[in-house]
Every structure is written in structure tokens, then in C-alpha cells.
Amino acid sequence: MENQKEIIIRPPSGWFDFNLKELWDYRDLVKEFVLRNFKLIYKQTVLGPAWLVFNPIFTSVIFTFVFGQFAGISTDGVPQFLFYMAGNSLWSLFSTSVTNNSNLFFANKNVFGKIYFPRIATPLAQSISCLINFMIQFVALLAFFVFYMVTGSPLRFSLKMLIIPVILLQTTLLALGVSLIFSALTAKYRDFTFIVTLGMQMWMYVSPVVYPMSLTGGWMYKILLFNPMTPILNNFKWAFLGSGSFMLWSWVLSFVTTGACLFVGLAIFSKVEKTFVDTV
């Protein structure tokens, strides 16, 4: 027991009690969680991870019919299917990480009640898994991109695409922040599991997923500027598809919102995690 450091357990105090060093010690656990999440996708399925790709393709086909053909919503000159698939994939990165994590206390109550590990490993791993799933979908998206490019659509690879990793990271962090807040709420009231599902559907329609920002105007445009997902989706399509125009100030605000959500989320989470097991 030479130079053994002491662990001191005390009643919870303070409101931002977050041990990054400890999380680093448990990095292998985060890796295992990510690995497990991935393995569980294809256990006892025939197509396995292919489902990850089918999902956005299928939804995009429907969107192409409903919003593109029926409603005739403009896609800023981008092939409709590609426009919807791009928006859809990025949106589902955000929404699945929020919904998957928002119920994490109940989903893991058996594990949390029996063993200690930094609880934040669970949502973190979930977010990383969603990001990995997005990467797989992104490969499919790139394939369609190349297909449309060679068939004559005005699509080009450009340096603008370099901002895409930043966008993905921001989306993941924003989703983590939002879901941590919700996870604390669902730990107290299960109603919030339903509210989250409903809320995410509504949130999608006030974000430029199925329509470009050029379609919005007036007060609606101004409101959309405050939605942190607006510049994320808009700038993603700008960088990837070359459609629309770059939103700078709204994006800056979106970064601030992301930071705030993450901070509040971590603070609430660190409070709830300490005594959550007493209340289930």
C-alpha cells in the first residue's frame, strides 16, 4: 500500500462535482460500452449494421415524396433525395443521442444500484456510439453524393467540407448537454420520457431539416436563429452540398448555447447521480 491515495466519501456538497481524472481512469469502460452498443446492433439480425444505412435512406425516400413531390418544398437546387438524406442523417445523430440518453437512469438502474463507476461513462459512450453510427451513414451519404456528382448535378468537393468535423463534434456535445438535463428530469418524473420523444419531433420541424433557410423569412427566420440546431444544419448543408449561405452569428450563439447546455447538464447530472439509487 505504498503511496496509496485516499478516497474520501462525504455527503454530497457543492453543485459542480465532476472528476475528469477518474473518467480518464475508466476510459477502457467507455470503450467497452461503445463496443457493446455496436455489437448489440447486429446480434441476431441478418443485415446487422446495414440497418443503420437503410434507415435514413428509407426516411429520405419518404421525405422526397411527401415534402419534395407533394408539397413541392424547394431544396435550393440540390437533388431532393440528397438534400433530405443530409439533413436527416445529421438530425438523427442529434435526436437519437438525446432520446437514448434521456432515459439513462432508469435504463441502467440495476447496474447503477450494484456497482460504482463514473456514471458519466454511460451517456458519453452512448454519444460516441451515435457518432460512430453517423459515420457509417455518412459513408452512404458520400456514395450518393458521388453518384449525383457524376450524373451531372452541380456538386463539388471543396475546402468548406473541413468544417464538417467541427459541426459533428458540436452536435454531439449539444445532444449530450440536452440529454443530461432531460436524464435528470426523467429520473424524477417519468413523464419526461414521453415529453422528450414528442419534443424532439417538434424540434425537428423548427429546424431546417426538410426545408432550406432560404424558404423562411420575417419573424420565423428570426426565431429560427435562436435554435442552436439551425446554424448546425444550415452550415452542414452549406459545407457539404454547397447550398444556402453560411450563418456566422447564429452559429456563434449556437456554440454559446451548446456550452451552456453542457455545463448545466453536467452540473445537474453530477447532483442526481449521487443519490439516484435511493429513489427507484
Q: Which residues bind other proteins (CB under 8 A)?
A: 1, 4, 6-12, 25-26, 28-29, 31-32, 35-36, 39-40, 43-44, 110-117, 188-191, 274-275, 277-279
Query: In the complex, what is the shortest distance from the CB of residue 105 to other proteins, in angstroms, rounded to a whole number?
Result: 12
- Provide the minimum distance between the beta carbon of 16 and other proteins in the complex, in angstroms, as a whole number: 16
Shortest CB 89 distance to other proteins, Å? 26
C-alpha–C-alpha distance, residues 127 and 104, integer Å: 12
Q: 113 and 280 in contact (C-beta within 8 Å)?
A: yes
- Positive or negative, the CA dihedral 137, 138, 144, 147 is negative
114 versus 152: smaller Cβ distance to other proteins: 114
Is 1 or 150 the residue whose CB approaches other proteins more closely? Answer: 1
| Backbone angle region of 9, left / alpha / beta, with phi > 0 → left and psi within -120 to 50 → alpha | beta
CB of 112 to other proteins, least distance (A): 7
Distance between CA atoms of residues 234 and 253, nearest Å: 14
Which CB atom, from 24 or from 263, has the smaller least distance to other proteins? 24
**Cβ closest to other proteins, residue 14 vs residue 218:** 14
CB closer to other proteins out of 34 and 232: 34
DSSP states of 108-169? THHHHTT--S-TTHHHHHHHHHHHHHHHHHHHHHHHHHHHHHHTT-S----GGGGGHHHHHH
Least Cβ distance, residue 199 to other proteins (angstroms): 15
Grid cell locating 173: 456535445
